[in-house]
Amino acid sequence: MKEVLVIEMGMGVDMHGQDITKAAARAIQDAIYHNSLPGLRAAIKKYGASEMSVNVRLGVPCNQDKLDFSLLEAIFPYGNVTFEVCQGGMVSSNVLMLAEKGDKTDDMLIVNAVIEVGY
């Protein structure tokens, strides 16, 4: 990416079910869903949506090998999406294990996301 236009941060949690992809998806959505970036419209008109680069850096505390990147990539409406995964986030107790919610343990998984958008 030659020019970074936007950097957004987000955090996502899966409190029940210990699904690392669900926590990562929520972190990505947290980073991108609360934005209105009118300046990006001009860049899309100039360079095209298909030329946009989106780099997603995820801080993941565990189960990095279980991330479903196709589900995460589908969150983005356009752009060439790449992922970097590093150790980060957090595992903490949610104090309550509910089998009916899919819990295998009382762990809640917390993932952090940094998203860079540019050309």
Q: What is the total count of domains within the chain?
A: 1
Give the pLDDT score at 36.
Answer: 79
Is residue 81 pLDDT above 90, yes or no?
yes
Contact between 82 and 35 (Cβ < 8 Å): no
CATH number at residue 28: 3.30.1330.20
Between 11 and 103, the higher pLDDT residue: 11
Q: What is the pLDDT of residue 89?
A: 98
What per-residue confidence (pLDDT) applies to 38? Answer: 83
Give the Cα separation of 40 and 77 in Å (integer): 14
pLDDT tens by residue, 47-75:
898 899 999 999 999 999 999 999 999 99
pLDDT digit string, tens, across residues 1-46: 889 999 999 999 999 999 999 999 999 999 999 887 888 888 888 9
Q: Which amino acid is at 94?
A: N
Provide the residue range defining the domain that includes 32: 4-118
Alpha-carbon dihedral angle through residues 7, 12, 18, 19, given to the nearest 10 degrees? -50
- Residues 95-101: contacts with CB within 8 Å, 24+ apart? 98/16, 101/16, 101/17
The reported pLDDT for the residue numbered 35 is 81
